[in-house]
Structure 1
Amino acid sequence: MMNPSKPQPKASIRSLLSYRPSFGKAKQGRLIRLSANEGALGASPHVYEALQAQALSPFRYPEVQDQQLNQAIAERYGLEASRILSSNGSDELISLITMAYLEPGDEVVMSQYAFLVIPQATRIAGGIVVQADDVDMVTNVDNLLAAVTPKTKILFLVNPNNPTGTMIEMDEVRRLHANLPPHILLVLDWAYAEYLDQSFSDEAARMVEAYDNVVMTRTFSKLHGLAGLRLGWAYCSPDLLTTLASIRGPFSVNQAAFLAGIAAVQDRDFQEQSVAHNKKWIAAMVPFLEQLGLQVIPSSTNFILFRFDETKGPSAQHASDFFASENILLRTMEPYGLGDCLRMSIGTDEEMAVVKDAFIRLMQSSSAS
C-alpha cells in the first residue's frame, strides 16, 4: 500500500455521511422556522430569570451545578439522583453509549426511520447498522427482534420516533426487552416523552431500575425549549453510569445550561402550558392537512410528518420551496428516504395561523396549474 500524501482518518470515518441537519433557507425578513422540532413557546420565563439573576463565573468549572441539576430532575420525575448523568444534549449520550459498548464489527439494531445521529454514532464507533422495517411508519417489535444476531450489542428504540412521530405502547417495549439477551443494551430514546402522560416515562424508569441492560435518554431541547444550550440526561444503572461518565468530558455541560435546566425542570406550570399548546395544534392541523389531500402520519410529538402525492398536487420539494419563499421553513426528509414527505414542527398561535394560510394558497395554486 502506498503511503498517503496526508493524514487519513480511520476507515469507519472515511465512509461516514455526517449528520449535519439543514433547517432550510429562506429569504430575508421575519422567519417562521418549523424545521427543527424546537419548543413552540420557547423556554420558561424562570429560565431567563435564573440566567439573569445568577452571576456566572466563566473562569470556574461547573462542578456544583451538576449535582443540583440531577437532584432537580430526580425530584421532578420521582427518580434516583444517583442514576442520572447529565450530558451536552442527548446526542452526546448516543455517542458515549456506542463508544463504550461497541467493538469494531458489532451490530446495532434500530428501526427503519430512526434518528440519524444513531447510525452516525454507530459507524464512528466501528459498529454495523442494522435497520428493521417499520410497518405503516410504526416501529415493529417483531422486526426488531428478528434483526438481532449473535453480533448485536445495542438496540436503540426512539419512542415516540423522530421523524415519523409514531410510537409503540409500553407493553410492546416490555415485550421487546423480555426477548432480548441480557448482554444486549436496550437504549430508550425518550426525547419526546414529555408530550405524553408522565406514566409513560415512569414505566420506562421502572425498567431501568429493574434491569442492568436498559438506559433511558432524555433531552431539554424539546418541551423545555433549551435546544441552544445543549442539555440532556441519562437514567441508567450505576455500572452503566460509571462507564459513560468515565469517557464523557469532565465538564461537557456548561454553567448556563445547568442553571437553565434547573429552572426549566422545576416550572411545571410552563410545562403543562406547553403540552396543552402542542395538543391543541396537533389536533387542529391533522384534519386540516388531511382535508387538503395530504397523507398525515399520526403524531405523539411536537411535529407532524405528512406525505405529498404529486400526481394529485404539488411535490414535497415544490411545497418546501414555496414555503421557503414565504419565509416558512419545513424539514425535507430525503436523508431518511422519505423524499415525498415534509415534517413540520408546531409553532406559536400566530405562526400556525400564517402557515395554515400558506398551505391553502399552495394547494390552490397547484390545483389552478
Structure 2
Amino acid sequence: MPVTPRPGILDIRPYTPGAADAPGVANPVKLSSNENPLGCSPKAKEAFEAASKKLNLYPDGGARKLREAIAEVEGLEADRIVCGCGSDEILQLLGRAYLEPGDKVVQSEYGFLVYRLVAMTSGAHFVSAPETGCRASVDALLEAAGDDAAIVFLANPNNPTGTYLSGEEVRRLRAGLPEGCLLVVDEAYAEYVDVPDYETMLPMARERDDTIVTRTFSKIHGLAALRLGWAYADRSIIDVLNRVRGPFNVNLPAIDAGIAAIRDIEFREKSAAHNREQVAYLTQQLRGIGLEITPSVGNFVLIHFPETTGKTAADADRFLTARGLIVRPLVPYNLPNALRLTAGRADDNRKVVDALTEFMAA
C-alpha cells in the first residue's frame, strides 16, 4: 500500500508551464512564457560563464553580495531582502511560514496560478475575488478577505491579464485588510510598466510590518533559466523566511549573474523600450483584425476570441501551433476563450499577426 500524503495534496493540479514544442516544426517560435526576447544582459552572461569555473564550491548561503547589489540599485536595505529560487519559492515559503490548515487565502479572479498552489499545499481555504473587465477590484478583494484573511496575494501587474491597480488603489486595499493579514504584492512585471499612476509598493513594505513585495529576474532581466527572485519586507518577515528557506536555496551562478544583471540598467531600459513598442504594435494590429485585446502594461497581451465555431481560442491555438507559433492557452485560468501572447521579437510578432489575420479571414 502506498504511503498516503496529507489530505488535499492529491487535489493539487501541478503547475503546467508554457509549451515549448510544436509537433512537426523544427524551430518553433515560443511566445508562451513571457520570456525576454532580447535574452539576458551580456554582463550577466559573462558572470555566469565565469561562475562555471567555481561549480565545486557552495554558494553564499545568504546571497549577501546579491542582496547588496539589489539594495544599491533599488535604494533599499540589504538586510530587508531575501533571495529565492525564483519568486515562486518565496511565495511557497510564505505559505509554509504563515498559513495553517483552514486559514483563508485571497486573490483576484484571474490571479497567478501559483497563489492557489500555495494555499492548497498549506491546507488553506482559497477564495477568488471577482474581477471587472479582467482587472482586480479592491472592493471585491476586501469583501473576500472579510475580517479573517491570513494572506492576500495581489499580482500588480497581473499575469495573465496585463492589467494593474494604481498606487492609490493598492494603498486602499492595504488599509482595508484585517489586522494580522499579510499582503503579498507580486511585482514580477513592474519594470515594464510605463503609466503615470502605477507605483511600486516597495515604499509601503518599508513602512509596514504586514506587507511584502516580490520581484523576479526571470522577466526583464532574462534569467528565467537560473530561477532567481527576491523579496523586500520588514525585518521580522525576512527573519521568518530565512528560518524556513533552505540553507543554499540560490545557486552560485545565479547569484553572480544576478549581481551583473541588476546593475545593467542599460539592458533593462533597452528591454523595456522594445517591449513598449511591441505591445503597442500587437495591440493595434490585433484589434485591427477584429480581436478584443485587454490593455496590458506587461510584456504580453491577452487576446479574446469569438465563440463562433472555427474561430475560438482553441481553434486559433491549433492554427498557430501548426505554423510553429506557440502561445499560452488559458483554460486553467478559467479564460477558455482567450490566449496570452508574449511580446517577442519584431519579426516573430509580425508572423503571429499575419497568421491570425489569415485565421480570422478564413
**Shorter-chain TM-score category?**
over 0.9
Paired residue for 1:73, among 59, 64, 70? 70
Paired residue for 2:214, among 204, 214, 217? 217
Aligned to 2:98: 101
Aligned to 1:306: 303
TM norm structure 2: 0.96
Which segment is superposed worse, 194-203 or 39-48?
A: 194-203
TM norm structure 1: 0.94
User: How many pairs are equivalent?
Assistant: 361
Which segment is superposed worse, 44-53 or 135-144?
A: 44-53
Aligned to 1:324: 321
Change (3 A) 1:256 1:199: farther
Distance 2:295 2:164 in 1: 9
Change (3 A) 1:278 1:36: same
Which structure 1 residue ranges, 5 or more long, are not aligned?
A: none
Distance 1:220 1:230 in 2: 8
Alignment of 1:63-142 (within 5 A): 63=60, 66-142=63-139
Change (3 A) 1:197 1:360: closer
Which structure 2 residue ranges, 5 or more long, are not aligned?
A: none
Distance 2:250 2:34 in 1: 22
Please list the CA deviations of residues 245-266 of structure 1 after superposition, one character each: whole Å capped at 9, or x if unmatched: 1110111110111111111111
Alignment of 1:354-365 (within 5 A): 354-365=351-362
The percent of aligned pairs where both chains have the same amino acid is: 42
The alpha carbon displacement at 1:361 in A equals 2.0
Distance 1:263 1:307 in 2: 38
| Alpha-carbon RMSD | 1.7
Please list the CA deviations of residues 106-143 of structure 1 after superposition, one character each: whole Å capped at 9, or x if unmatched: 00011001100110111101111011000111000000
Distance 1:201 1:33 in 2: 29
Q: Which amino acid aligns with 1:9?
A: P
The alpha carbon displacement at 1:56 in A equals 3.2
Distance 2:289 2:6 in 1: 49
Distance 1:181 1:162 in 2: 26
Q: Which amino acid aligns with 2:98?
A: Y
Distance 2:52 2:340 in 1: 39
The alpha carbon displacement at 1:32 in A equals 0.5
Distance 2:104 2:267 in 1: 41
Q: Which amino acid aligns with 1:53?
A: A
Distance 2:346 2:238 in 1: 41
The alpha carbon displacement at 1:54 in A equals 4.1
Change (3 A) 1:262 1:165: same
Alignment of 1:142-153 (within 5 A): 142-153=139-150
Change (3 A) 1:133 1:155: same
Distance 2:112 2:153 in 1: 10
Distance 2:307 2:174 in 1: 41
Aligned to 1:6: 2
- Preserved CA contact (<8 Å) 1:102 1:153: yes
Q: Which amino acid aligns with 1:283?
A: A
Alignment of 1:1-369 (within 5 A): 5-23=1-19, 25-26=21-22, 27-54=24-51, 56-63=53-60, 66-197=63-194, 203-311=200-308, 314-365=311-362
- Preserved CA contact (<8 Å) 1:56 1:256: no
- Preserved CA contact (<8 Å) 2:95 2:122: yes
- Preserved CA contact (<8 Å) 1:24 1:331: no
Distance 1:282 1:110 in 2: 26
